[in-house]
């Protein structure tokens, strides 16, 4: 086992959280992945991260499975926000408009599809990790 200089990580991404104990736990975990898409559509893009953050802050200490799912969804929503921001910069920069405009659609479609996949997986009681995600929140 490798030593990291005496420092311990606060979050081990390889160890799964506790399994959900009820269907309510699975529903909250599923909501953490689906609510951002709905909130983004209803708000024009501004509430996706906020809804996930609220679920994370309210439920993270209540159940490890819900907290893990909400943390993963929050990290993914931050990643999606940064990707949209990069697409916007490319779109308005002038010479990268041909990359920025399709980028909006690719990022949006990927966020929607991956969010639905994540919701289905956590509803089955599985731990889901997004394939492309900056894990900023431990």
- The ranges of the chain with pLDDT < 70 are 1-21, 44-46
Residues 107-130, buried b or exposed e (16+ Cβ, 10 A)?
bbeebbebbeebbebbbeebbbeb
CB atoms closer than 10 angstroms to residue 61: 9
* Geometric angle at alpha carbon 117, from 113 and 122, rounded to 5°: 150
C-alpha–C-alpha distance, residues 30 and 117, integer Å: 10
Structure-token pair, residue 98: 């041909």
Which phi and psi angles does 88 have, rounded to 5°?
-65, -40
Q: What's the gap between Cα 47 and its chain centre? A: 13
Instruction: Indicate the pTM of the whole model.
Output: 0.80
CA 103: distance to chain centroid? 19
């Amino acid at each position: 086992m490798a030593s990291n200089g005496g420092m311990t990580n606060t979050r081990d991404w390889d160890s799964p959280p506790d399994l959900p104990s009820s269907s309510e736990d699975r529903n909250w975990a599923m909501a953490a992945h689906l609510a951002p898409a709905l909130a983004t559509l209803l708000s024009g893009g501004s509430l996706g991260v906020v809804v996930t953050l609220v679920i994370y802050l309210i439920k993270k200490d209540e159940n490890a499975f819900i907290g893990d799912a909400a943390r993963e969804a929050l990290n993914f929503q931050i990643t999606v926000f940064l990707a949209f921001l990069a697409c916007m910069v490319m779109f308005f920069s002038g010479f990268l408009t041909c990359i920025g405009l399709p980028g909006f659609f690719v990022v949006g479609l990927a966020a929607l599809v991956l969010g639905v996949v994540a919701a289905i997986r956590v509803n089955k009681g599985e731990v889901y990790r997004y394939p492309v995600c900056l894990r900023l929140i431990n």
